[in-house]
Amino acid sequence: MMGNLSLCRPIIRAAFCAFLALLPLGAAWNLIAAQYFPARALKIGPTLGGVTYDTSVIFSWPEIRDGKFQKAVVSRVTDAMPVRPLLIRINNEIRFHLFGELTAPNVVRGANGHLIEQTYLDDYCSRTEGMGAKLAAVAIPKLKDIQNFYQKHGAVFVYVVTPSKAAHLPEYFVDRVPCPSTPAARKQLVPDYVGALKREGIHVVDTASLIHSLKGTYPFDLFPQGGVHWNDVGGARAVSAVVEEVNRLAGHEIIPPFRFTYTMSTPAKGADRELVDLLNVFFPPLGYQTPKVSFQPSVPCAESPARQLDVAVVGSSFGHLPSRIMVEANCLERLQFYYYATLGRFGGTPYRELQRNLSENDLRAWRNAEVMILEENESFMASAKVGYVDQLRAVVKRP
């Protein structure tokens, strides 16, 4: 059998040589297609999970001297190779299933197969006692400026704190990485932070504490095994709390509430498998169940005035699920979600990306919002790493 497949046979040798000759031609085609015909790029194997950004190729002496030009060219050529997805998945499959290694950068595996991003663990394990009050002191002046603007213009402003998986399920992860923070410091950060904001009159919806208080209420965790964001039930409970607060501040019901039911589903889809997809293996671990929610709006959306309400949500990746739910289940057809302010604008029915890489001019629409929802995750509250709170403050303070 092996003799029949020997490279000494002319036909096999010719086919192998033709394959090798086609590799650079395929890469050359993909380099051209990336610029003009991205849908026609040649790829062998399933598309790789994860978002990557092309390195800019700048031909200049400083770039050549620093080696950046050479690295950028190598990166572009490597990415253009048609067999790259196939080879990466073969490598990852061997390392994952034979040796238990994760090749996805910044992904940590905890107990019961749960995955998490390293950055959320780093935050959770670096909390110190008194940190909540210190972060609040930084955030309060900014949030007051934003809230005062919307109140002055007859609009509603709420600040939403969302939960992290590390804080919700620490028992799955804290023994897997160095975690010098004390249990008290980890537990008190959000209550101390939210309490300080409320004492200063900031309209806060603490969905982090809400979700953590629901632990054990359902026959499943509110964070999926293969994802870092809350599942549909967690998102639904959070949105209900946000809508209740918005209606209270408005003095009457401007957003119709909803009821929901759920059924268990497998395999996981969408955000419930986002970290599993980053593993880029042929046989991903997707045997776990996740809840899928069905919504029953309190009024038919076709009859609801909320369809005309201008709602803006500015926030992190945790803002996607609540925004989609509010569009679909709370009848907020005009809601716009600004992902990290400028990375993307999402909305519409069906919920989708509407614009990418927004300019400062695009953000002026924030000033006209009838409801402004500002979301920050508990892992990055009042953090300079995020920056979109400062951007919102700058927009509303412009004359």
Mean pLDDT by 10 residues, the chain (399 residues): 55 70 71 70 74 64 78 71 78 83 89 94 95 96 97 98 97 92 95 98 98 97 96 98 98 97 92 92 91 96 96 97 98 97 96 95 96 97 81 94
Under DSSP, is residue 58 helix (H, G, I), strand (E, B) or coil? coil
Q: Which helix (DSSP H) or strand (DSSP E) does residue 294 occupy? A: strand 290-297
What is residue 22's predicted lDDT score, i.e. its pLDDT? Answer: 67
The predicted structure's pLDDT at residue 288: 94
The Cα 307–Cα 144 span in angstroms is 29
Q: Quote the CA–CA distance of 104 and 93 in Å, as a whole number.
A: 12
Q: Please, are residues 211 and 237 in contact by the beta-carbon 8 Å criterion? A: yes
pLDDT of residue 2: 47
Per-residue model confidence (pLDDT) at position 216? 95
Q: Which helix (H) or strand (E) holds 135?
A: helix 131-152
Three-class secondary structure of residue 261 per DSSP: strand
pLDDT at residue 52 in the model: 56
Burial of 49 (0-12, 13-18, 19+ CB in 10 A): middle
The whole-number pLDDT of residue 312 equals 98
SS3 state at 103? coil
Place of tokens 């020997």: 6
Q: With contact defined as beta carbons under 8 Å apart, do 389 and 135 qualify?
A: no
Inter-CA distances, 69 with 24, 55, 299, Å:
20, 9, 59
DSSP code of 121?
A: H
Q: What is the pLDDT of residues 106-158, one digit of tens each?
A: 999 999 999 999 999 999 999 999 999 999 999 999 999 999 999 999 999 99
Burial class of residue 18 (count of CB atoms within 10 Å of its CB; 0-12, 13-18, 19+) = exposed
CB atoms within 10 A of CB 72: 17
One-letter identity of residue 89 = R
The answer to whether the beta carbons of residues 110 and 151 sit under 8 Å apart is no
Evaluate whether 354 touches 347 at the Cβ level (below 8 Å). Answer: yes
Which residues are within 8 A (CB) of 106 and not within 5 positions of it... i.e. 6 or more apart? Answer: 117, 118, 119
pLDDT of amino acid 96? 83
